[in-house]
Amino acid sequence: MKLLTANFLTCAVKGCKAAASSYPLHFKDAELELQEIDFQPEFIHNIIPRIDWEGLRVMANELGFPKIPDLKPEGDALNDEQTMRDLHRLLLETHVVEGRLCCGNCGHEYMIKEGIANFLLPSHLV
Amino acid sequence: MLPTPCTAHVPFDTIYEPAEDSYLFLDTLSSASETTWLIQQFAAPSPSPTILEVGSGSGVVLAFLVANSPTILGRADVLSLATDLNRTACLATRETVAKAIAAQQQTTTTTRPSTNPDAAPASHSPSTHANPSMKSTHLASVQSNLAASFKPGSIDILLFNPPYVPTEAVPRAPTAADFETGDAAATRSEQFERESYLLSLTYAGGKDGMEITDRLLADLPRVLSPRGVGYVLLCAQNRPREVVERIRGWTEGLDEEGEGSRRRRRRGRWCAEMAGFSGTKAGWEKLVIVRVWREDL
């Protein structure tokens, strides 16, 4: 599971849908793996507008990545190769292999095994 | 004809094997009319589209669209996502999509000429960076019930080949406990029962075969982005013409608030159209794929 995925995920519990704190989910005990792929600046340019920047910042921070820019890069900042390479590494090359994703609202933890996050709920939460 | 992804690695004892409905999906997505519509809807430069297949099974439909995205969507910079209740299907889909991308995009050249002599590497225009080796990427397969784990507005293209066969009841939804095996200790009959149960999830649709499809349709206004589109397969017993009419009457998610301080109201309507069908019998289509999207008024 590439780290960028977390930008699109939220808690599966119905009661959490309306709660702001159910996004982003928080990684716990995440075991990361780097799988190098070709650097494609155009791809990163086109992904950036699709990203919720605050959610990404929270995630990068919690996982101990080097600080990413406070604001979403636009205009000239998109031509800063180092920033684009850092984002490429963070978004597309870094995978979560094992660990948990936790909801900040209900506290439920979703297990990640071999890169597959399990969002099936126990019967009492369905 | 675009190549069909390889699924030779998929264990079909608990996963739906690609069949007529899957192939109708491939034919529909690559038809001239859908390709034209999709290229127009997602023309670059615009943000990279996210593509989610719900209940992806073998992953053949998702892999087909993603690996052939330069032809079908006019761009390779797409983000692939999948959900399935069955963990084995999640693993299979991940492999199917990765293999299809590797097989079909290694020699792909972008359709956009990048020979502009003025295009310096640090140019402001992203288009001059056109990378001839642009490759799509599979972000994740997630074990999840329908699209419940995705946040509002996160999906641009959603694909769903549902369990559409009318049955007396829908099987219970699996819980995390169903996949904490224990398989080695299972007897043959226990294993058979487990496999039958998991397979029933791939076809059993309850009343009119619509119970699961209705749940997914009800979630579309939430999970689709403003430019988002859903493709959902129906069979004749699902009464596709009635489903299309129902969708056209939806009112959910039509008022959208703009980002930041600029609050704007947007009026729109839900649209549904039969994008593909097969097996016409006595004037009725056996299988239909419906395209669902929102349009500004």
Residue B147 has pLDDT above 70, yes or no: yes
Is residue B182 very low, low, confident or very high in pLDDT (cuts 50, 70, 90)? low
Is A116 within 8 Å of A22 (Cβ atoms)? no
pTM: 0.91
The residue among A4, A8, A71 with the most chain B CBs within 10 A of its CB, best to mutate, is A8
Lowest mean pLDDT among A31-35, A106-110, B279-283: B279-283
Q: What pLDDT is attached to residue B261?
A: 45
Instruction: Give the Cα separation of B132 and B19 in Å (integer).
Output: 34
Residue B202 has pLDDT above 50, yes or no: yes
Average pLDDT over residues B183-188: 71
pLDDT in tens, A17-55: 889 999 999 999 999 999 999 999 999 999 999 999 999
Report whether B81 contacts B51 (CB < 8 A): yes
Residue among B77, B143, B144 whose CB faces A46 most closely: B77
Provide mean pLDDT across the span B137-141. 97
- What kind of fold does domain A3-125 have according to CATH? N-terminal domain of TfIIb (2.20.25)
pLDDT in tens, B77-87: 999 999 999 99
Place of tokens 């007529």: B20
Residue B265: the pLDDT is: 54
The whole-angstrom distance between B173's CA and the closest CA on chain A is: 9
ipTM value > 0.95: yes
Cβ pair A42:B176 closer than 8 A: no
Q: Do B142 and A5 touch (CB under 8 A)?
A: yes
Rounded-to-integer distance, Cα A53 and Cα A70, Å: 8
Domain B20-108+132-255+263-296 sits in CATH at 3.40.50.150
Counting one residue from chain A and one from chain B, the pairs whose CB atoms sit within 8 A come to 132
The answer for A 55-74 residues in CB contact with B (under 8 A) is none
CB contact under 8 A, B130 and A45: no
Q: What is the pLDDT of residue B109?
A: 45
The DSSP symbol for B44 reads S
* Residues B249, B12: Cα–Cα separation, whole Å: 39
DSSP characters for B148-198? TTBPTT-EEEEEE----B--SSPPPPP-GGGGS--GGG--HHHHHHHHHHH
Contacting residues of B for A8, CB less than 8 Å apart? 50, 81, 139, 150-151, 154-155
- pLDDT for B90 equals 98
Tell me the longest C-alpha to C-alpha distance in chain B. 70
pLDDT at B140 over 50: yes
pLDDT average, residue stretch B286-292: 96
Report the pLDDT value the prediction gives residue B107, as an integer from 0 to 100. Answer: 55
Domain ranges of chain B: 20-108+132-255+263-296
Q: What is the mean pLDDT of chain A?
A: 94
Per-residue pLDDT band for B112 (boundaries 50, 70, 90) equals: very low
The better pLDDT of the pair B256, B162 is held by: B162
Give residue B215's pLDDT: 97
Residue ranges of the domains in chain A? 3-125
**Position A66 confidence tier, pLDDT thresholds 50, 70, 90:** confident
Instruction: Name the residue among B136, B7, B5 with its Cα closest to residue B64.
Output: B5
- Count CB-CB contacts under 10 A for residue B129: 20
Query: Measured between alpha carbons, how far is B135 from B126 in angstroms, rounded to an integer?
Result: 16
Across the interface, whether the CB atoms of A38 and B135 are under 8 A apart is answered yes
What is the mean predicted confidence (pLDDT) over B52-66? 98
- Which residue of B123, B144, B178 is in closest CB contact with A119? B144
pLDDT digits (tens, 9 = 90+) for B2-19: 999 999 999 999 999 999
Chain B residues with CB-CB distance to A41 below 8 A: 126, 129, 131
Residue B122 pLDDT > 60: no
